[in-house]
Each structure stands twice: as structure tokens, then as C-alpha cells.
A and B are shown apart, each in its own frame.
Chain A
């Protein structure tokens, strides 16, 4: 067993609890001890008062003479009750009481010479001026008090010891659990992101805390994995064009200078660089959008006008490619948002439908607002739909068409920024790709989304 260090939690808590319990139980027992003494003395006073009452009755019946006789009897008997009768001038008439005052009215505690025990006395002045004093030994009470005086330290000590042991055990248990959490946290810190905090299974506060932290760790692990994935993607997708550019320049350097060929080569190089820069810009924009940048600049955006405007720009592009673009826009659809990002999202969807899809492009904005852009091309196989929303994901057949592979990733990021979501499905008649941009806000996105059962359709 490991010896707890000086900075250890358990012994310190045990000690603290021990001291607190010691002091409180000592004070408690001490108070009880004082109260007990007080009660004993009051009991004694009652007995004295009763005795005095008896003697006074004698006085009323037999007069001073009778009282003196009674006092003498008490003195002779040498019982615990002592009686002293003093004449009005202070001379003793009967009885003996060492250390008695010359005159006493009411209760008093008398301390005679050393070696003798203290006395509790009660004095009464009789109608003729004589003074009757009854007293009793306090030795009994004193002995009881002395015996009881051990109670506070014994009670305090025992309680403190018990508290010390219990406190140590409980604190030790806490310490062990914290040590488990600490070890796991350290492992996570060292790079083991899959490590989770131990749980005892009792569902107590520690388990709930560990549960929360574990959920946080799972989220961090997912985010880090995503960042790693993106970094890999970036490295991969930028390495290819950069190496192509390098080869092109190298080849040009190696051959003799020729104005026309050089110009063509340089033009190609600039185009290649522009493509790389466009990829960078798109990545930056997605990253910023995903970080939620720009949300504070949200203004009411007339989505109907925005979609109509973009469709108007793309209509001729479709026609030029021998295709058609049909827009069906519900009027007056507005949401708070970023017009620039929404415009780009809509444009990306149309770019995508025109660049990678086929046939007529259908743009429909339904009240909600829910925007869907569908084409009649080859579509995207269901198992690939989740992936095309990721950065740089491109279907094999799209490898040679222009584009950064970031278009739909940005659409997804813009949707999330606006509290909406993107789903991929088929176009009308089960052909082509249909992308739905649901912008009904937080309420819609938190509702359970059943595939194929989109409400409001």
C-alpha cells in the first residue's frame, strides 16, 4: 500500500474531520457536564428546602424550644443534614456548623477549612429574629462531578478517533477515484485520445462527471480525427497540382527558350496556380463558416429574390450547354442569414448540377424555406451520398471535370451556419441527384429527420 504523501488529500481530510469532531464533541460533553452539575445542585437545594420546611413546621408547632431540640437531635445523629440555630444576637442556640456565617438568609455554598468538604446551606430568619441554617455535604455532588469530568475528553477522543479512521477511509476512496480520473486524463494528454475516464457503475456524482467528460473526449476525438482527415486531404489534393506545376516548369527550364512555347507554358502555370489558390480560398471559407464566423452579421435575407437572381444568372449557362434550368420559387421566403454565403451556396448547387449532372436542372424553393436543386443526370449512388458532402470528395467520374471538390462541403457548412441541413437524394422520377437545403432553422434540424418523410413536401 502506498503511503500517502504530505500533500495527500486523505490524511489531511481525516485530520481535519478528526479535529473538528474532537472539538465539537469535547465542547458538547463539557456543556453536558456543567448542566449535570447544575442539575445535581438544584436537586440538593430542593432537598435542603424540604428539610428546612419540616423544621419550620416544628417551630410553628412547638416554638423555638422544639426547634432547638430538633436541631440538637440532628446534630447528635451526625447525618448528612446539619442544622444550626442562631439566636438573634448570633449566638448558637443549638447544633453545630463549622464555617457558618453569623447570619444567613437564602442559599449559600460554604467552604470550611481545608480537608473538609464543601457545604451547601440554606438560611431562614424566624419571626423572633433567630436564624435557622440547614446544610448538607457537597462531597457527593463533587464526587459525581469529578467522575463525570472524564466524559468530555473520553467522548471527544473516541469520536475523533472514529472520525479520523472513517474520514481517512472515505477520503482514501475519493482519492483513488480521482487518481483513476487523473491517470486517464494524463493518458489523453499524452495523445491517447481513445482513452476514457473510469466509471464505477454506481451512477454517483463521479460517474456523472466522468460521463460528461467522456462525452467531451469523444467529441474532441471526432474533431481531431476530422482535422487530421482534412489535413491529409489538403496535403493530397494540393500536392498533385503543385507537383504538376513543378514538372511543367522543370520541363520548360530544360528545353531551349522559345517565346511562344514559354508563353503557353507560363499561361498554363498561372492557370494551375489560380486553381490552387481557388482551392485555398474555398477551404478558408469553409473553415470560417464551420467555425460560425459571420453569424453576428446576420441580416434578413430575401431568399426568394436571391434564388431567382442566381437562377437567372445560371439559366443561360444551362441553355448554352444545351440543357434547361427551371426555377419554381415561392415568393416572400426570408430568413436571417448571410446573403453572400447563401448566394454562394445556391450558386454551388447550380454549378454542381450543371457541371456534374445532366438533363434539366430543377430549382424549387418551397415555403419553409426548403430549397431543392435536382438534375436528371447519373446521380450519386446512395452509399456515396454521405461522402460527397465532405471536403475534396469527388466521384471517380468527376475527377476530370473542373472544380475543387469543395462545392457541396461549403453548401453543407453554410446550411449548418444557418441552423439548417443538407440531404442528398434522387431527382424527380428517381433519376439524377436531388440536393435539399432545409433552412427551416433550429426547430427543423432538431426534429427527427426520417429518410423519405420530409415534412412539408
Chain B
């Protein structure tokens, strides 16, 4: 997996490059818009992480140039302007995701992984499966090892998102944004409540746990470990 990081601030660029490097990605860093655009146009990358404000062409300009050249590499836009309208502007320009600075590294990692794993556009999936967990998207049913479960609509959406990104750490912010379209952090533990409800339903038949809490980061949905998960 090869990632291009376009970021003019040296400390931030190092922080991102080092962190993603430790995750096993090959990271290229461009320190201005011109180099970034050149690399993005001429080298194959799996994900591009770009600052929005850059010397030379800025993040939005790079994004437009890439999309105009038919390059569909997923782009995660970083910005200090955490505002909704800026977000919309970036997404409209073709960004695949948006992250406000300052961010927790777990948040960046979760989003990069979500983008890197994003399947190429293909025929609509109608069924999701993780381990012995099955989700029928058409009939809106969930079953674990043949045991059917009742899910409330909001729980169903949450589980669907988690099943689409198995094995990835999903942060609370990411879940709020992608599942409920909340572009802010509520003061109450909304995510935890819903995750624990889904978790209880998944384990209601005495099965092994599938949703793991990652301290200080978020949640992971994965098939239970074979031995004493």
C-alpha cells in the first residue's frame, strides 16, 4: 500500500509519515502543492492525504486537477477549518473524506484504512459477511450462525458500516459522521450506547465477542479469535 502525504508543515508531515509507516504503508511526502500534484499525477498511490492549505496549488486545486485527469485515487483532505461548509466544499471538489486538524492519529489511521480498503466501484453488494455474521441488505436481516436478530434501524446502519470495514479501528468521530451524519461530538456517550447494544445482540446466544473496544481510539469488528478471543 502506497500513500502520498502532501503537507507543508514539517512536524505534521513527519508525524503522519512516521505513524503510517509504522502501520506498514509506504509513504511519500510532498512539502508543497506543486510537488504533490506532480507525484499524484505521475506515480500510482492507493491513498492521498492532502492538506487543504498549501503553498503552490492548494488542496482543492490538486483535487480538481486529479479528478480532471481521470485519477480516482481516494483523497483524504486535512484542514484547520473544521467547518461544515468547508467540508461540503471539499467533498464537492471530489475529496473522499475530510479530517479537521488537530486530529488523533487513530482518527487518521481509521480513515486512511477505510479509504484504502474501499472496493473499486462494483455491482451493488446485497449481502455482507464477517465470520459467522451475515447481513442481508435487501431484506434488512441480520443473523449470526443461523440465529436471526432484531436490529433497530440505527443499529442496523451502525452494524452495516462496521461490517463494511471489518478489522479496522473505527473511531467514535468516524462512526458519528458516517452512520448518523453528525459532524460534531455530542457530550453524551451516543456511540458507546449504540455499540454496546449491537454488541449485546451479537453475543445474545452466548457466542464469542466480535466487537472489540480499542482504548482511546474506537471499536473494531472482527471475526472472533479462534482460541479464547
Shortest distance between the CB of A392 and any CB in chain B (Å): 14
Complex alpha-carbon distance, A354 and B102, angstroms:
29
Interface status of B141 (Cβ within 8 A of chain A): no
Among residues of B, the one whose C-beta sits closest to the C-beta of A293 is B85
Question: In which size bucket is the chain A interface?
Answer: 35 or more
Among A270, A288, A351, point to the contact of B186 (Cβ < 8 A): A351
> Quick check: A320 and B193 within 8 Å, CB to CB?
yes
Among A312, A343, A355, point to the contact of B153 (Cβ < 8 A): A312
Among B102, B184, B193, point to the contact of A347 (Cβ < 8 A): B184
Complex alpha-carbon distance, A196 and B187, angstroms:
45
Interface status of A53 (Cβ within 8 A of chain B): no
Give every chain B residue within 8 A of A297 (Cβ-Cβ): 85, 88
Among A284, A340, A404, point to the contact of B183 (Cβ < 8 A): A340
Complex alpha-carbon distance, A309 and B186, angstroms:
15
Among B82, B84, B104, B154, point to the contact of A341 (Cβ < 8 A): B84
Interface status of A316 (Cβ within 8 A of chain B): yes
Interface status of B203 (Cβ within 8 A of chain A): no
> Quick check: A340 and B84 within 8 Å, CB to CB?
yes
> Quick check: A351 and B188 within 8 Å, CB to CB?
yes
| A331-347 near B? 1/0 per residue, CB < 8 Å | 00000001111011001
Complex alpha-carbon distance, A277 and B88, angstroms:
21
Among B182, B193, B216, point to the contact of A267 (Cβ < 8 A): B216
Q: How many A-B contacts if CB must be within 8 Å?
A: 72
Give every chain B residue within 8 A of A338 (Cβ-Cβ): 84
> Quick check: A284 and B83 within 8 Å, CB to CB?
yes
Within 8 A of B (CB), among A291-317: 293-294, 297, 309, 312-314, 316-317
> Quick check: B188 and A314 within 8 Å, CB to CB?
yes
Interface status of A46 (Cβ within 8 A of chain B): no
Complex alpha-carbon distance, A314 and B193, angstroms:
9
Interface status of A402 (Cβ within 8 A of chain B): yes
> Quick check: B84 and A316 within 8 Å, CB to CB?
no
Give every chain B residue within 8 A of A172 (Cβ-Cβ): none
Give every chain A residue within 8 A of B187 (Cβ-Cβ): 351, 355, 402-404, 407
Complex alpha-carbon distance, A407 and B186, angstroms:
9
> Quick check: B181 and A343 within 8 Å, CB to CB?
yes
Give every chain A residue within 8 A of B102 (Cβ-Cβ): 277
> Quick check: A317 and B185 within 8 Å, CB to CB?
no
| A110-143 near B? 1/0 per residue, CB < 8 Å | 0000000000000000000000000000000000
Give every chain A residue within 8 A of B100 (Cβ-Cβ): 281
> Quick check: A316 and B194 within 8 Å, CB to CB?
yes
Interface status of A285 (Cβ within 8 A of chain B): yes
Interface status of B180 (Cβ within 8 A of chain A): yes
> Quick check: B154 and A347 within 8 Å, CB to CB?
no
| B185-202 near A? 1/0 per residue, CB < 8 Å | 111111001101100000
Interface status of B225 (Cβ within 8 A of chain A): no
Give every chain A residue within 8 A of B154 (Cβ-Cβ): 312-313, 316
| B140-172 near A? 1/0 per residue, CB < 8 Å | 000000000000111000000000000000000
> Quick check: B104 and A313 within 8 Å, CB to CB?
no
> Quick check: A312 and B152 within 8 Å, CB to CB?
yes
> Quick check: A344 and B182 within 8 Å, CB to CB?
yes
> Quick check: A355 and B82 within 8 Å, CB to CB?
no
Complex alpha-carbon distance, A309 and B182, angstroms:
11
Interface status of A220 (Cβ within 8 A of chain B): no
Shortest distance between the CB of B206 and any CB in chain A (Å): 22
| A270-281 near B? 1/0 per residue, CB < 8 Å | 100010011001
Among B85, B189, B216, point to the contact of A270 (Cβ < 8 A): B216
> Quick check: A343 and B194 within 8 Å, CB to CB?
no
Complex alpha-carbon distance, A339 and B216, angstroms:
30
Among A270, A281, A316, point to the contact of B82 (Cβ < 8 A): A281
Give every chain B residue within 8 A of A407 (Cβ-Cβ): 187
Shortest distance between the CB of A316 and any CB in chain B (Å): 5
Give every chain A residue within 8 A of B181 (Cβ-Cβ): 339-340, 343
Give every chain B residue within 8 A of A402 (Cβ-Cβ): 187
Complex alpha-carbon distance, A347 and B177, angstroms:
13
Complex alpha-carbon distance, A354 and B193, angstroms:
13
Give every chain B residue within 8 A of A343 (Cβ-Cβ): 181-182
Complex alpha-carbon distance, A297 and B187, angstroms:
27
Complex alpha-carbon distance, A312 and B216, angstroms:
26
Give every chain A residue within 8 A of B194 (Cβ-Cβ): 313, 316
Give every chain B residue within 8 A of A314 (Cβ-Cβ): 188, 190
Within 8 A of B (CB), among A322-369: 338-341, 343-344, 347-348, 350-351, 354-355
> Quick check: A354 and B188 within 8 Å, CB to CB?
yes
Complex alpha-carbon distance, A341 and B182, angstroms:
9
Give every chain A residue within 8 A of B193 (Cβ-Cβ): 316-317, 320
Give every chain A residue within 8 A of B83 (Cβ-Cβ): 284-285, 288, 293
> Quick check: A355 and B188 within 8 Å, CB to CB?
yes
Give every chain A residue within 8 A of B180 (Cβ-Cβ): 309, 313
Complex alpha-carbon distance, A339 and B188, angstroms:
21
Complex alpha-carbon distance, A362 and B68, angstroms:
50
Among residues of B, the one whose C-beta sits closest to the C-beta of A280 is B82
Shortest distance between the CB of B215 and any CB in chain A (Å): 8
Q: What are 9 A-B contacts defined by CB distance under 8 Å?
A: A270-B104, A284-B82, A285-B82, A285-B84, A294-B84, A341-B84, A343-B182, A344-B183, A350-B188
What 9 pairs across the A-B complex have the smallest Cβ distances?
A340-B84, A403-B187, A351-B187, A317-B193, A320-B193, A344-B184, A351-B186, A316-B193, A402-B187
Chain A residues near B (Cβ < 8 Å): 267, 270, 274, 277-278, 281-282, 284-285, 288, 293-294, 297, 309, 312-314, 316-317, 320, 338-341, 343-344, 347-348, 350-351, 354-355, 402-404, 407
Known interface pairs A314-B190, A320-B193, A402-B187; 10 further A-B residue pairs with C-beta atoms within 8 A, sorted by A's residue number = A284-B82, A284-B83, A285-B83, A285-B184, A294-B84, A297-B85, A312-B152, A338-B84, A348-B186, A350-B188
